[in-house]
Amino acid sequence: MTFEKTILCIGAGYVGGPTMAMIASQCPRCRVTVVDINPERIAAWNSDNLPIYEPGLDELVRATRGRNLFFSTDIEQGIRENEIIFVSVNTPTKSFGLGAGMAADLQYWEKTARQILEFSESSKIVIEKSTLPVKTALAMERILNCQENGIHFDVLSNPEFLAEGTAVRDLEHPDRILIGSRETDNGLKARQTLVDIYASWVPKERILTSNIWSSELSKLVSNAFLAQRISSINAISALCEKAEADVTEVSRAVGMDSRIGPKFLNASIGFGGSCFRKDILNLVYLCRNYGLDVVADYWESVVKINDYQQERFIRNMLGAMFNTLAGKRICLWGFAFKANTGDTRESPAIFIARRLLEEQAEIVVSDPKALGNARTDLTGVRGQIRYVEDPLQAAEGCHAIALLTEWDLYRNLDFPKIFDSMAKPAFIFDGRNILDHRRCFDIGFNVYPVGKPPLTHFLEER
Ligand code: UDX
Ligand code: ADP
């Protein structure tokens, strides 16, 4: 079969894999190849056991793999044979040198750019899919077009807005697709090529085009705004706990203002995930770089509140459990950074687990999809850790349950049985406010939600 367009994606991660599977599924006349330097990852993409858990992804890959979707480790051949190249490699926060802990580490990116230059035998469109600091495309363009050999590269920015756990739905029905390009003849032509691909399934009015820097910045700003909402409600949750207000009632009342809207106002143990913290710190670094210290401080406070919220959760546990956790067994329900994913990157559970171990508690980690990643995250951490998938078994003999991920399965468990199996007094710290607190209290638990008065059987607190 001859294909109308040939597409390569470098980086087979949480973004590259699902996005390319969706393009392959919606554009049967495109051949899509996904490459990665990690051979185990590629082997997993070619197996029945995909390297990431995402509802609907197995079906999508099964329908397209071997038809017009291919996974390979041959990056060189991939670059040579394809005319459109998405770059979706990781861009972690720099851990060394200038900007350490703040700026994006662009070494994988630059390596990829140099590889594209080395192996290309014809002109190509290169698309930034990874979230990158503003003006990275310019650097990419400079590296790619530094030789006078008749080969030309057009660099586009096409940030991905999918959220994990809902990636397939987000890819199929995106709020918007954003494509940034240079506003030259070549740039506009390349932009149109990408618009045409998305127009196979995305309504035209949802495909936005812009200049390349606006596109890069929009991605950082979208994530910063989302994270800011969470930090705003989490800051208010601290006040609610002191003022005996209920943060769920406050967020409902506030969110019904149509100018504010109801989404992303759930108080929690703080946001995790590979994007929010990294992107805000990137934005902060960018602002400082331009001498905008007041702006940088403003955005940095979003991260500070997030750190504060996680530490506050530990302090609430300590305070409730008579100021010592030493020797107590605490069960963590959930380790993923959110429900419906096995991803634990930047999960608040990592910080909470470490802090509990520092307080010399024993922990039992439970999660339906993230236990493998949890083991990796806690490798080398000192203390007593057990991993038990079944939430009931995990809670057995524990002094407390800390609910850290809002998995649906935790809502309707046999709580009387769980209570009977635990050490007394038994505590539940609901870091996601998803349980029926009154019911748990009536069963006998001492219940500590986020941003609401606790329900306890201790006389002095009632
Ligand atoms: C985010 C953006 O939503 C997405 O558009 C971007 O492409 C990547 O980053 P993701 O990190 O997958 O997606 O998850 P998201 O649903 O945004 O949740 C991030 C974190 O915020 C999670 O830890 C979640 O539990 C937390 N959260 C979310 C809250 O604590 N309260 C809320 O009300 C919403
Ligand atoms: P994201 O969430 O942004 O998709 P991931 O870490 O899940 O990030 O995926 C990034 C992928 O990019 C990883 O599988 C990693 O092995 C791959 N990768 C990093 N550098 C290169 C490179 N130079 N060439 C090919 N793949 C790379």
> Amino acid identity of 28?
P
Q: With the CA atoms of 59, 64, 69 and 73 taken in that order, what torsion angle do they form, in degrees rounded to the nearest 10?
A: 40
Give the residue, by CA position, lying nearest to ligand 1 atom 34: 264
The span from the CA of 102 to the CA of 279, in Å, is 9
The span from the CA of 62 to the CA of 59, in Å, is 5
- Nearest atom, ligand 1, residue 272 CA: 23
The span from the CA of 371 to the CA of 358, in Å, is 21
Q: Which of 348, 339, 325 is nearest to 234 (CA)?
A: 348
223 lines ligand 1 (CB under 6 A): yes
Give whole-number Cα distances, 278 to 264, 322, 412, 456, in Å. Answer: 19, 36, 35, 38
Cα-flanking dihedrals φ and ψ of residue 210, to 5°? Answer: -160, 180
pLDDT score for 7: 98
Ligand 1 pocket mutation, candidates 226, 281, 367, criterion most atoms within 8 A of CB: 226
Q: Which of 10, 279, 303, 11 is nearest to 133 (CA)?
A: 279
The span from the CA of 187 to the CA of 156, in Å, is 8
Catalytically annotated residues: 275
Q: Which of 320, 337, 325 is nearest to 277 (CA)?
A: 337
pLDDT score for 137: 83
Q: How many CB atoms lie within 10 A of CB 313?
A: 23
Burial label, 103 (beta-carbon count in 10 A; 0-12, 13-18, 19+): buried
14 lines ligand 2 (CB under 6 A): yes
pLDDT beneath 70: ranges in the chain: 460-462
106 lines ligand 2 (CB under 6 A): no
Read off the tokens for 152: 């030309």
Ligand 2 pocket mutation, candidates 15, 90, 116, 337, criterion most atoms within 8 A of CB: 90
19 lines ligand 1 (CB under 6 A): no
CATH of domain 5-202: 3.40.50.720
pLDDT score for 340: 94
- Nearest atom, ligand 1, residue 164 CA: 12
Strand, coil or helix: 283:
helix
Does residue 85 contact residue 46 with C-beta atoms inside 8 Å? no
The CATH fold assigned to 311-461 is: Rossmann fold (3.40.50)
What are the structural domain ranges in the chain?
A: 5-202, 223-306, 311-461
pTM (predicted TM-score): 0.95
The span from the CA of 348 to the CA of 329, in Å, is 19
How far away, in angstroms, is 270 Cα from ligand 1 center? 10
Give whole-number Cα distances, 144 to 190, 193, 224, in Å. Answer: 15, 19, 30
Give the CA diameter of the chain: 81
Q: Which of 321, 338, 322, 339 is nearest to 330 (CA)?
A: 321
Q: How many CB atoms lie within 10 A of CB 16?
A: 25
Q: Which of 132, 137, 344, 136 is nearest to 223 (CA)?
A: 132
pLDDT score for 461: 54
How far away, in angstroms, is 163 Cα from ligand 1 center? 7
Give the residue, by CA position, lying nearest to ligand 1 atom 27: 271
3-state SS of the chain: helix, strand, coil percent to 5? 45, 15, 40
How far away, in angstroms, is 269 Cα from ligand 1 center? 12
Which residues lie closer than 8 Å to 110 by C-beta, 6 or more apart?
Answer: 139, 143
User: In residues, how long is the chain?
Assistant: 462
269 lines ligand 1 (CB under 6 A): no
The span from the CA of 26 to the CA of 406, in Å, is 32
The CATH fold assigned to 223-306 is: Rossmann fold (3.40.50)
Q: Which of 26, 127, 116, 21 is nearest to 70 (CA)?
A: 21
pLDDT score for 312: 98
Give the residue, by CA position, lying nearest to ligand 1 atom 5: 161
pLDDT score for 460: 63
pLDDT score for 168: 97
160 lines ligand 1 (CB under 6 A): yes
Residue with tokens 């500070």: 304
Helices (H), 274-370: 276-289, 293-320, 348-358
Ligand nearest to the CA of residue 86, numbered in listed order: 2
> Amino acid identity of 133?
P
Which residues lie closer than 8 Å to 103 by C-beta, 6 or more apart?
Answer: 93, 94, 133, 281, 282, 285
pLDDT score for 97: 87
Give the residue, by CA position, lying nearest to ligand 2 atom 3: 90
Q: Which residues pair with 462 in a beta bridge?
A: none
Give the residue, by CA position, lying nearest to ligand 2 atom 16: 38
Give the residue, by CA position, lying nearest to ligand 2 atom 9: 13
Q: In what order do the strands lie in the sheet with 400-403?
A: 385-387, 362-366, 329-333, 400-403, 427-430, 446-449
How far away, in angstroms, is 362 Cα from ligand 1 center? 29
164 lines ligand 1 (CB under 6 A): yes
